[in-house]
Amino acid sequence: MTRPEVPAERKSLVYQPSGGPVSGVDLPAELRLRDPGHCCCCGSPERQEDGARKDFSSRLATGPTFQHFLKSASAPQEKLSSEVEDPPPYLMMDELLGRERKVYLETYGCQMNVNDTEIAWSILQKSGYLRTSNLQEADVILLVTCSIREKAEQTIWNRLHQLKALKTRRPRSRVPLRIGILGCMAERLKEEILNREKMVDVLAGPDAYRDLPRLLAVAESGQQAANVLLSLDETYADVMPVQTSPSATSAFVSIMRGCDNMCSYCIVPFTRGRERSRPVASILEEVKKLSEQGLKEVTLLGQNVNSFRDNSEVQFNNAVSTNLSRGFATNYKAKQGGLRFAHLLDQVSRVDPEMRIRFTSPHPKDFPDEVLQLIHERDNICKQIHLPAQSGSSRVLEAMRRGYSREAYVELVHHIKESIPGVSLSSDFIAGFCGETEEDHVQTVSLLREVQYNMGFLFAYSMRQKTRAYHRLKDDVPEEVKLRRLEELITVFREEATKANQMSVGCTQLVLVEGLSKRSATDLCGRNDGNLKVIFPDADMEDVNNPGLRVRAQPGDYVLVKITSASSQTLRGHVLCRTTLKDSSANC
Ligand code: 5AD
Ligand code: SF4
């Protein structure tokens, strides 16, 4: 395979007050497009904090020195939380503080973005910001955005138009509302967002959340501020994400960021940068804390979780290398050494035997036998694997640069099913990729039938600029054909998932209780080992560890449920007893 295109990393443009881009060197991308003496939204001279802001603006105008930029460009990105950081020379320490301004965070897209929201909030909270869930109350609105498909971005543009009205209507007696775009869309579109939507004050790419206090401080003066640098090593290892729902039974723990795979349709390597893993020790520390807080489930999170490779210490480079799944190849040069996913999974699953471990999203190429063996033998590692196929046609898979054929994928599925009896499988598929013929589509339908996934995530292809497919292939499947094929995939997936889920009827399954069912106040809802939703009446039951005691299930309890019916998305049953993960005697 040829080497991948390398994402434009550590390159950014710095705009001078005069407006012209300076260079493509590694400098903080502060986009100064406004006259600092005027309000950013209405252009009127400033009110209230005029004096302080003028002083601030004049310091900004004299600005950071070139030496300062050089220093920050060469400094390692990761800092220990205990280290006290000097403010940039053009900002006073107190200007970096939130001064109890209220932040409203809105998350779009995948679970990585939910985790990023928690990281961004953790950083802002430490800086003295308050959080609000009331949009009207907010002084700062931050949207954590997604670029994976055109539709995801359109949703953000629409939202920005609504927020513009909010900003314009804001009474002059309040501090001006600041609006920020965080995450993938900030990274993909960069200054285009600032130019197109003048009401956006702050842009922060996925590796720039530590810079949010500074960016917001710059925005306070009425200037737009942006940092869209991608990093080779930022994993936010020392930033403990702030869980937003205190009653939650489960949490996501980010273990790696970025992606090196360069599938030809995918924007992720360009928005989230190169693959890098968080040190094992810091992951274990976070999992231990979550266990002490009483959480019962942890999902290890990353763009390619099972490509995990901790190279943070020299001695890890002697670790035995692990193989790719049989018949799979990478688009990049083989990487050596480091602590791999099997090691991490082993360590994480030992932290708390009552804590369920899941992981998402993996790539099928990184399922060596040691990972499968571990999933099979460890009670608290869920027997559930997401195995994104994307297509059932070898021809399309090659155009997608997935690094495997249909045959290799099917062989892996059989191997997984043999190694982990009762495993639950899910997948992602794209309908209508460049050049996909009716025959290719039929092959995808047949793969859905052959594997019989329990869960599926199906999408119509959406051409993304910058990707290899955008440059080299033609988006030639008409929209209505893409949608028709997508509908067919959904129908077949549902039929097969219903069949697969019906195999559970009559079985007793271990369910982690989440709380009341959304549809009925007399039912509870939880998840089985395969991550499928299980609904059952809220009834009293025996507690196996306290014979004779009758209890009602609470969120975070493990209960045994006898399954009585199944659909493509849900199981139903009745509860038998409260138990523990170790003592459970689930029979399928
Ligand atoms: N168009 C449609 N779906 C896409 N995905 C990634 N990029 C695109 C695209 N350009 C899907 C893939 C991936 C999931 C997260 O999103 O199926 O696995
Ligand atoms: Fe995108 Fe996933 Fe492929 Fe990476 S492995 S390029 S995130 S689809």
Does residue 390's CB lie within 6 angstroms of at least one atom of ligand 1?
Answer: yes
Residue 90's pLDDT is 62
Residue 241 has pLDDT above 80, yes or no: yes
Give CA 317 to chain center in angstroms.
28
Confidence of residue 245 (pLDDT cuts 50, 70, 90): low
Ligand 1 centroid–CA 459 distance in Å is 7
Does residue 461's CB lie within 6 angstroms of at least one atom of ligand 1?
Answer: yes
The neighbour count for residue 106, using CB atoms within 10 Å, is 16
Ligand 2 centroid–CA 103 distance in Å is 32
Which stretch of 3-7, 51-55, 84-88, 379-383 has the lowest confidence by average pLDDT? 3-7
C-alpha gyration radius of the chain: 25
Residue nearest to atom 15 of ligand 1 (CA): 428
Confidence of residue 93 (pLDDT cuts 50, 70, 90): low
Residue nearest to atom 14 of ligand 1 (CA): 428
Residue 65's pLDDT is 41
The Cα-based distances of 288 to 246, 349, 465 in angstroms read 17, 11, 41
Ligand 1 centroid–CA 383 distance in Å is 24
Whole-angstrom distance, CA of residue 135 vs CA of residue 463: 33
* Pair of tokens at residue 473: 């292939």
pLDDT greater at residue 495 or residue 332: 495
Taking residues 178-190, report their average pLDDT.
97
Yes or no: say if 279 and 312 are a contact pair by the CB < 8 Å rule.
yes
Question: pTM (2 decimals)?
Answer: 0.84
Does residue 369's CB lie within 6 angstroms of at least one atom of ligand 1?
Answer: no
Residue among 305, 228, 335 at smallest CA distance from 3: 335
Residue 26's pLDDT is 25
φ/ψ (deg, to 5) at 565: -155, 160
The Cα-based distances of 141 to 106, 125, 175, 195 in angstroms read 8, 14, 13, 18
Top mutation candidate among 267, 304, 428 for ligand 2, by most atoms within 8 Å of CB: 304
Ligand 2 centroid–CA 229 distance in Å is 20
* Pair of tokens at residue 326: 């049989």
Residue 180's pLDDT is 98
Confidence of residue 363 (pLDDT cuts 50, 70, 90): very high
Ligand 2 centroid–CA 142 distance in Å is 26
Does residue 391's CB lie within 6 angstroms of at least one atom of ligand 1?
Answer: no
- Helices first, then strands: H and E counts in the chain: 16, 23
The Cα-based distances of 353 to 296, 343, 424, 559 in angstroms read 10, 16, 21, 16
Give the ligand with the smallest distance to the CA of 460.
1
Does residue 464's CB lie within 6 angstroms of at least one atom of ligand 1?
Answer: yes
- Quote the Cα angle for 389-403-323, to 5°: 100
Residue among 205, 250, 209, 203 at smallest CA distance from 225: 203
**Mean pLDDT score across all residues of the chain:** 85
Confidence of residue 40 (pLDDT cuts 50, 70, 90): very low
Residue 334's pLDDT is 80
Residue nearest to atom 12 of ligand 1 (CA): 428
pLDDT in tens, 210-239: 999 999 999 998 999 999 999 999 999 999
Does residue 148's CB lie within 6 angstroms of at least one atom of ligand 1?
Answer: yes
Which stretch of 149-153, 174-178, 321-325 has the lowest confidence by average pLDDT? 321-325
Ligand 2 centroid–CA 262 distance in Å is 6
Residue 100's pLDDT is 85
Whole-angstrom distance, CA of residue 408 vs CA of residue 559: 38
Going by the DSSP 8-state scheme, the letter that residue 68 receives in this structure is H
Does residue 430's CB lie within 6 angstroms of at least one atom of ligand 1?
Answer: yes
Which stretch of 53-62, 84-93, 438-447 has the lowest confidence by average pLDDT? 53-62
pLDDT greater at residue 243 or residue 447: 447
Residue among 368, 335, 355, 367 at smallest CA distance from 512: 355
Question: Which residues sit opposite 431 in a β-bridge?
Answer: 460
Helix boundaries (H) for 452-530: 468-472, 479-502
Top mutation candidate among 1, 147, 187, 266 for ligand 2, by most atoms within 8 Å of CB: 266
* Ligand 1 atom with the shortest distance to the CA of 388: 18
Residue nearest to atom 3 of ligand 2 (CA): 263
Ligand 1 centroid–CA 491 distance in Å is 19
Residue 23's pLDDT is 24
Top mutation candidate among 459, 461, 483, 490 for ligand 1, by most atoms within 8 Å of CB: 459
* Ligand 2 atom with the shortest distance to the CA of 272: 7
Does residue 343's CB lie within 6 angstroms of at least one atom of ligand 1?
Answer: no
Residue 193 has pLDDT above 90, yes or no: yes
2-11, 20-29, 503-512: which has the highest mean pLDDT?
503-512
pLDDT in tens, 260-307: 999 999 999 999 999 999 999 999 999 999 999 999 999 999 999 999
* Pair of tokens at residue 360: 């998402």
Give the ligand with the smallest distance to the CA of 153.
1
Confidence of residue 67 (pLDDT cuts 50, 70, 90): very low
Q: Which residues line ligand 2 (CB under 6 A)?
A: 259, 261-263, 266, 268-269, 303-304, 363
Residue 516's pLDDT is 95
Taking residues 41-53, report their average pLDDT.
36
312-316, 400-404, 584-588: which has the highest mean pLDDT?
400-404
Q: Within 13 A of 1's CA, how many CA atoms are on the CB side?
A: 20
Residue 512 has pLDDT above 70, yes or no: yes
Does residue 103's CB lie within 6 angstroms of at least one atom of ligand 1?
Answer: no
Yes or no: say if 107 and 69 are a contact pair by the CB < 8 Å rule.
no
Ligand 1 centroid–CA 406 distance in Å is 18
Establish whether the linkage from the previous residue to 361 is cis, with ω within 30° of 0. yes
Residue among 212, 204, 195 at smallest CA distance from 12: 204
Residue 14 has pLDDT above 60, yes or no: no
419 by DSSP, 3-state: which? helix
pLDDT greater at residue 552 or residue 27: 552
Yes or no: say if 454 and 501 are a contact pair by the CB < 8 Å rule.
yes
Residue among 498, 494, 495, 491 at smallest CA distance from 571: 498
The Cα-based distances of 481 to 392, 461, 485 in angstroms read 17, 11, 6
Taking residues 485-499, report their average pLDDT.
98
Ligand 1 centroid–CA 455 distance in Å is 16
Looking at residue 60, its amino acid is L
Q: Which long-range contacts (CB under 8 A, 24 or more apart) does 311-320 make?
A: 311/277, 311/337, 311/338, 312/277, 312/279, 313/279, 319/343
Give the ligand with the smallest distance to the CA of 433.
1
Whole-angstrom distance, CA of residue 356 vs CA of residue 511: 11
Whole-angstrom distance, CA of residue 25 vs CA of residue 13: 8
pLDDT greater at residue 581 or residue 2: 581
Does residue 388's CB lie within 6 angstroms of at least one atom of ligand 1?
Answer: yes
* Pair of tokens at residue 110: 């995948």
Question: Which residues sit opposite 254 in a β-bridge?
Answer: 301
* Ligand 1 atom with the shortest distance to the CA of 266: 7
Residue 134 has pLDDT above 70, yes or no: yes
Yes or no: say if 524 and 553 are a contact pair by the CB < 8 Å rule.
yes
Residue 388 has pLDDT above 70, yes or no: yes
